[in-house]
């Protein structure tokens, strides 16, 4: 799958830069251009866009948004523009958007007012009925290094249920680790497109000033190295 995505990205880059009038023979290793069809762009959106670094994905979609093949296909154009807009929200290095919540003890709060005490914040968007969410939560909870960072105040975990179902939240919230902040979204994160949550779980890592360090984390082993330069 990774080879397919890489080949598709190279083909997209080649065709889109060619359509923009960029000479491939101006670079040391030109990429042959096999031509791009709407199906190729749709395949990338469906299978690989979120596996790419933000800058690469945004560059490809920005070019695709003005490509004649995309412009002519109303559904594809909408998908490209929607995904591009989603990727532009809460980018790495930018301040994380705030939202309001109620925690599992009934206390109201918001991300911007959340005092992490100088800790980085691992934000997990989860669904109580999601088996993969339970697996990731268990994996994080059982990781000795992450547990140590949490217990020493270097890392805070904020687990957020973004779908706003109070009954489902109440039934599940106390099963999550005691040292975490477990919260029910009250701002309509999904409806108002405050965060891009293509699936659950979706993980973001924020620094103590609530700036995004990582997003779309798929490997929890990347968490501590990402914050080690800040304060660990």
pLDDT digits (tens, 9 = 90+) for 61-97: 998 998 888 888 999 999 999 899 888 899 999 999 9
Sequence ranges of the domains in the chain: 2-88, 100-228
Q: List the one residue out of 20, 49, 1 whose CA is nearest residue 199.
A: 49
Whole-angstrom distance, CA of residue 102 vs CA of residue 185? 7
> Which are the contacts of 161, defined by CB distance < 8 A and separation ≥ 6?
125, 126, 127, 128, 168, 169, 172, 173, 182, 183, 184, 185
How much is the average pLDDT of 160-175? Answer: 94
Query: For 27-70, what is each residue's pLDDT tens digit?
Result: 444 343 344 578 888 888 887 787 788 888 889 999 899 888 88
Name the β-bridge partners of 163: none
Task: Note the pLDDT of residue 185.
Answer: 97
45-49, 108-112, 141-145, 163-167: which range is least confident on average?
A: 45-49
pLDDT at 1: 42
Instruction: Give the Cα separation of 210 and 54 in Å (integer).
Output: 19
pTM for this one?
0.79
What would the mean pLDDT of 3-29 be, rounded to a whole number? 46
Predicted pLDDT at 32:
37
pLDDT of residue 26: 40
Q: Which of 32-46, 53-67, 104-118, 156-170 has the lowest mean pLDDT?
A: 32-46
**Structure-token pair, residue 18:** 């060619």
Q: Which fold has domain 100-228?
A: Glutaredoxin (3.40.30)
Q: What is the mean pLDDT of residues 149-157?
A: 96
- Cα–Cα nearest to 206, from 195, 190, 192, 191: 195
pLDDT value at residue 137: 97
Query: What is the DSSP track for 25-58?
Result: GGSSSPPP-----HHHHHHHHHHTGGGS-HHHHH
Q: Looking at the DSSP assignment, which residues form a beta bridge with residue 182?
A: 159
149 has pLDDT over 90: yes
Q: What angle do CA 103, 104, 107 make, to 5 degrees?
A: 45
Enter the tokens of residue 84: 């591009």
Q: What is the pLDDT of residues 193-211, one digit of tens each?
A: 999 998 999 999 999 999 9
């Amino acid at each position: 799958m990774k080879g397919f995505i890489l080949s598709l990205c190279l083909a997209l880059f080649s065709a889109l830069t060619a359509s923009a009038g960029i000479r491939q023979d101006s670079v040391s290793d030109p990429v042959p251009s096999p031509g791009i069809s709407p199906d190729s762009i749709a395949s990338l959106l469906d299978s690989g866009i979120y596996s790419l670094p933000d800058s690469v994905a945004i560059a490809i979609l920005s070019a695709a948004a003005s490509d004649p093949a995309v412009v002519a296909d109303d559904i594809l154009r909408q998908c490209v523009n929607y995904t591009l807009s989603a990727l532009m929200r809460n980018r790495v290095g930018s301040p994380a958007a705030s939202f309001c919540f109620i925690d599992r003890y009934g206390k109201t709060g918001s991300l911007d007012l959340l005092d992490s005490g100088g800790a980085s914040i691992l934000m997990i968007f989860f669904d109580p009925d999601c088996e993969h969410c339970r697996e990731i939560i268990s994996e994080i909870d059982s990781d000795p290094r992450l547990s140590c960072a949490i217990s020493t105040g270097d890392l805070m975990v904020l687990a957020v249920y973004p779908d706003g179902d109070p009954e489902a939240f109440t039934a599940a919230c106390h099963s999550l680790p005691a040292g975490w902040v477990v919260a029910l979204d009250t701002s309509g994160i999904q409806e108002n497109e405050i965060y891009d949550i293509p699936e659950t779980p979706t993980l973001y890592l924020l620094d103590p000033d609530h700036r995004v360090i990582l997003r779309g984390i798929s490997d929890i082993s990347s968490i501590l190295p990402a914050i080690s330069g800040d304060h660990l």
